[in-house]
Every structure is written in C-alpha cells, then in structure tokens.
Amino acid sequence: MTVCDIIQKKKERRVLNGEEISFFVSAVADGSATDAQIAAFCMAVLLNGMEEEECALLTLAMANSGQKTPRPQGGGVYADKHSTGGVSDSTTLILVPVLASLGVRCAKYSGRGLGHTGGTLDKLESIPGLTTALSPARFERQAEEVGAVVAGQTNETVPADKRMYAVRDTTATIDSIPLIASSVMSKKLASFADVILLDVKYGRGAFMPTPEKAEELARLMVSIGTAAGRRTAAAVTCMDAPLGSAVGCNAEVREAVAVLRGEAENDLAALSLFHAALLYRMATGASKEEAETAVRGAIRSGAAFKKFAQMAEAQGGDVRALEDPSLLPLAKHCAALTVSAAGVLDIDALALGRACALLGGGRQRPGQAIDHTVGFVLKKRAGERVAAGEAVAEMYYNGENGEAFSLAWGAFRTAETFTPRPLIYAVTGG
C-alpha cells in the first residue's frame, strides 16, 4: 500500500477502509507523505466526499496520531468549544474565562487563521509575551491550576491535523464537510473535554454558504462526538456580517476585553454568553434561567475578566496590555470608509475578512507571519440606517494594497430595506 494508492482510490470515489485511512494518517504524521500528496488527498475528498463511517475513522486516526493530553488529577468537569470559522469571532476569548470563573474548566486546543477567517491563537498571541505553544505537561498543569488554557497543537498533539490544516489553508480545500469535521473533532477527542459545543457558521463569511449545509456539518460532528462518548451539541449561527465591531487580531482582543468588562453589547457579546450558558447547562445540569444568570453574573462581578488575565499571565502574557490599549496598537495608517447613499446598512463579512488578510492580517502560505495591527473597527452595524457620506468603519493598514482597499470599500452597501438573518438558526445535540 502507498499514499498514491489511497489518493487514487478516493479520486475514483471509492470508500476507504480503516487500514487505508490509518496508513495515510500515519504517513501525514511521520512526514513520509509530501505536502503535494496531502493536497491531492484533500482535493479528492472535497470533490468526491466521504461516507460518515469514513469520516469517523479519519477523525479517530487523526486524534490518535500523536500524544493525547492526560486528564488532570484534580477532577471537575471540562468543557470545550469550537467555531468553524468566521469574521470578528473572538467568542473563545470571552467564553473560556466566563466558564472557568464559574468552576467549569476549559482546556482547549485552537487553530490559526484559515483563509479569510481569524485564528484564536493569532489573536491570543497579540498579547505581548503570550505563548500558545505549550507542552502536554504544561497544558495539563494550567488546566488544573487555572481552570482555563487555550493552546495550539504541538508536534506531540494531533500532528496529522496540524499538517493537513496548514495545507488546506493554501490549496482551496477549506470548505470540505468531511475535512472540517475530522479536523475539528480530532482536536476535541484528543483532549479530555467532557462536554463539547460546536459553533457551526453559515453565510457569506463562513465556509458553509447555507444553513442547511451548516446543519449537515453540525449533525456529522455531533454524531462523531456522541459516538466517542462525549456530550456534544452544535449551534448553527449566521456569519453574513462580522460578529463583532472589530476585524483583525489586536482590534479583536481589545473588543473581547471590552465584552469581559461589560462595556460592549453586540452580537459578539450575545453569542458568547449564549454559548457560555449552553455549555454551563451541559456541564452542571442547571436550568436555562440559572445558566444565563450565572454567566451574566461572571461578567458583572469582574470574575470573568480576572480569569482571562490569570490565563494570559499563566501563558507568559503581559497583562498590562489588557488595561492599556496602547500595548495592543493598531496600524499606523487609518482611513475612514463611507457609504455613498443613505439607507439600511449591509456589511459583507467575507469581503472584510479577505481584505484584512490581504492587508497582512492573514496568511498566503503555511507558517507565514501575520500583522496583528491591521484590520477594521466598525462604527455602524448591519441593519442600522445610515446617511449618505457617513463613515461606517475605520481601516487600519501599514502598506497600500489595491485589492484589499477595493474589497473593503465594497463590503459596505445600503438599501431601502434590509433585514439581517437571525443570529442563531438551530441547536442540535446536547
């Protein structure tokens, strides 16, 4: 058996068995499969799909491709949450400390920016000194001592997914339901989470264009998680417009801090608290009302912000940056973006995400450094009425990029009438 044999079989739309999937994943993990072969396999899966059993086998093989993090000795319930990717989605930075401050531990492996979407690790690393490269032992220790840890996969943890994730980012194979499901769930199953929540995005700024496709992905991931013995739920949510009022790493960390301080009320805050309450219910058996009261209390009391600072400090971060925005600087150039006609505002999340990436906030190749300072700060939200010539956003950049500028200006449109789709479409599992 060779890697090429497996690619050929999937190219011919045939079903791979467990032995073949394990062989391929081992080749990815040990480096014997080249990036070109991984890309060919991913494209074959994207074009030809996978059976549910194939996807489950791929997920388990990837989860077992490296060293699993041992469960801490201290006990307690562990929760994990994952978003399939969106624009201005910093919910993890809010949800993790909220839950940890309420006694529900969160030990989470996250990813970097993928395509036009921002990555949680990139955002956290905006905090000076903070590292997301934690050994399994350090990850376990922080989970037990702090109750909150967000880190990246090391070479020891899910190495097969780490390689496939990087290749997918630069080969137009991001939006494959089996590859998304196996990537997400392999990281979840490699950790020790008891309860798992999946935020599956749909719309212009998501990899799933329709709520029906998003629900298909949600049900597949819930099925994989449940079969593996984890209590799993998924929320299908809208990503037509940016979730928050900031796009870009430093700007988004600033906004997450504002939410944790109770200083921001928008879709980002609403969805973060919705997710936190749902996970709290799954972890504790609390009622809907009890959970909502608890998470809002964590914000009001300052406990959630304090826990975020504690987590950041444990990972080497300079917590002064959470108090002093100048330590999370925005790019040196700022341009006001205006609309030409009065009306109800619509904002294209995909266009803004792509613009941010082109300004330096995203990657064009695996491992590329990004510019944490570039991005956008929205002055108006989708669905608001605006006047002709009114400034609706600020664009921060360090170098000119005609394509990025064109995308940014084109992201804002007005119409006589416009009604944004509901933020939460469906919840499944749990």
pLDDT tens digits for range 204-233 = 988 888 999 999 999 999 999 998 899 999
What does the mean pLDDT of the chain come to?
Answer: 93
Average pLDDT over residues 179-186: 92
Cβ contact 207:180 at 8 Å:
yes
Do 257 and 317 lie in a common domain? yes
Average pLDDT over residues 390-414: 96
Is pLDDT above 90 for 187? no
- pLDDT score, position 304: 98
- pLDDT score, position 98: 99
Is pLDDT above 90 for 241? yes
Cβ contact 206:239 at 8 Å:
yes
Amino acid at site 420:
P
What residues make up the domain containing 373?
Answer: 329-415
Do 281 and 336 lie in a common domain? no
Do 249 and 347 lie in a common domain? no
CA of residue 57 relative to chain centroid, distance: 23
- What is the set of active-site residues? 82, 161, 168, 183, 187
Instruction: Name which of 34-48, 75-89, 93-107, 266-280 the model is least confident about.
Output: 75-89
Average pLDDT over residues 340-362: 95
Q: How far apart are CA 246 and CA 293, in angstroms?
A: 27
Do 84 and 187 lie in a common domain? yes
Cβ contact 394:367 at 8 Å:
no
Note whether residue 428 is domain-resident: no
Average pLDDT over residues 8-23: 97
- pLDDT score, position 91: 96
- pLDDT score, position 63: 93
- pLDDT score, position 376: 98
Note whether residue 55 is domain-resident: no
Note whether residue 62 is domain-resident: no
Note whether residue 200 is domain-resident: yes
- pLDDT score, position 207: 81
- pLDDT score, position 356: 96
Residue 294, classed as helix, strand or coil, is helix
- Beta pairing, strands 231-238 & 246-247: unpaired
Is pLDDT above 80 for 366? no
- Helices (H) and strands (E) counted in the chain, each on its own, are 16, 13
Average pLDDT over residues 172-196: 91
Last residue of a domain, one of 323, 350, 369: 323
Do 358 and 253 lie in a common domain? no
Do 216 and 129 lie in a common domain? yes
CA of residue 222 relative to chain centroid, distance: 17
Q: How many domains does the chain have?
A: 3
DSSP 8-state assignment for residue 16: P
Average pLDDT over residues 22-32: 96
Do 269 and 232 lie in a common domain? yes
Note whether residue 420 is domain-resident: no
- pLDDT score, position 236: 98
Note whether residue 173 is domain-resident: yes
Task: Assign residue 359 the CATH number of its domain.
Answer: 3.90.1170.30
Do 192 and 268 lie in a common domain? yes
- pLDDT score, position 113: 75
Note whether residue 140 is domain-resident: yes
Do 298 and 334 lie in a common domain? no
- pLDDT score, position 243: 96
For the chain, the C-alpha Rg in angstroms (whole number) is 21
Last residue of a domain, one of 297, 323, 349: 323
Average pLDDT over residues 97-112: 92
Average pLDDT over residues 386-400: 97
- pLDDT score, position 125: 96
Q: Residue 79, by phi and psi: left (phi above 0), alpha (psi -120 to 50) or beta? A: beta
Do 366 and 408 lie in a common domain? yes
Do 177 and 109 lie in a common domain? yes
Last residue of a domain, one of 306, 323, 340: 323
Note whether residue 183 is domain-resident: yes
Average pLDDT over residues 42-55: 96
- Proportion of the chain above pLDDT 90, given as a percent: 81
Q: How far apart are CA 298 and CA 162, in angstroms?
A: 34
Do 229 and 343 lie in a common domain? no
Is pLDDT above 90 for 169? no
Which residue shows structure tokens 């036009």?
A: 116
Q: How far apart are CA 142 and CA 381, in angstroms?
A: 38
- pLDDT score, position 397: 98
- pLDDT score, position 218: 96
Task: Assign residue 296 the CATH number of its domain.
Answer: 3.40.1030.10
DSSP per-residue letters across 354-394: HHHIIIIIS-SSTT----TT-EEEESS-TT-EE-TT-EEEE
User: Alpha-carbon torsion 229, 235, 241, 247, what sign?
Assistant: negative
